[in-house]
Amino acid sequence: MAAVLAFGIALFTARVYGVSMSPTLKDGDALIVDKVGVRYTAPRRGEIVVATEPGGGTFVKRVIGVPGDTVEIDGARPHPVVLIQPGGSGPWQRLEEPYTSNSWNRKDFCCDQRGLDVGLTTPQPLRVAPGRFFLLGDNRDASTDSRRFGLFSRDQIVGRVLFRWWPLRQAGAVSDRPALVPA
């Protein structure tokens, strides 16, 4: 009984609403989320998390920039790309994101120092502050994320998605992870 109670305290279920995480997650998918482990181990780049937005609701997004990273979105290409300097130094690297399927078409540039979208103006690279995270949805043209709300604090990240349990035919780990490649 104690193990069942501990399991219930450490995990919760979340449901995906909307298309902002498509194609990785679909509207109506049900997820098992770890709400304890994320308190002890900071989210890593590429992980899918549940976060609290400024209005009080929660949403599911992917961690793109972690504390210390320098992030830039280059919207001058046919499909925008995320460029990262891990830890804020060294050469720029492109985040290779197979889950976006080249569906990112809106000319994005990013960001001001709060992480907010700057429209079509040329931005300065964003340095992700200590204890903050830059979150994006996988469906970039239809996602409300850090480009609208700014950087998220670690306290706003309430859980790490472990796996999808519904629909049953797609149950399992959600494991698409981006890779850093030379820019």
48-93 residue pLDDT tens: 999 999 888 899 999 999 999 999 988 777 788 899 999 999 999 9
Contacts of 99 (CB under 8 A, 6+ apart): 23, 24, 138, 176, 178
Residue range 146-167: average pLDDT?
Answer: 94
Convert the pLDDT of each residue in 24-50 to its tens digit. 999 999 999 999 999 999 999 999 999
Q: Which residue has the tokens 């609701």?
A: 57
Residue 1 forms part of a structural domain: no
> How far apart, in Å, are the Cα atoms of 125 and each of 38, 74, 107, 110, 177?
27, 10, 16, 7, 23
Residue 74 forms part of a structural domain: yes
Q: Which residue has the tokens 């109670």?
A: 5
Please pick, among 20, 22, 143, 146, the residue that the annotation labels catalytic.
20
Respond yes or no: is residue 107 known to be catalytic: no
Residue 2 forms part of a structural domain: no
Range of the domain at 88: 11-182
Residue 4 forms part of a structural domain: no
Please pick, among 22, 61, 143, 146, the residue that the annotation labels catalytic.
61
Residue 136 forms part of a structural domain: yes
8: enclosing H helix or E strand: helix 2-10
Q: Any idea what the CATH number is for the domain that residue 80 is in?
A: 2.10.109.10
Residue 173 forms part of a structural domain: yes
Respond yes or no: is residue 20 known to be catalytic: yes
Residue 177 forms part of a structural domain: yes
Residue 6 forms part of a structural domain: no
Number of domains in the chain: 1
Predicted TM-score (pTM) of the model is 0.90
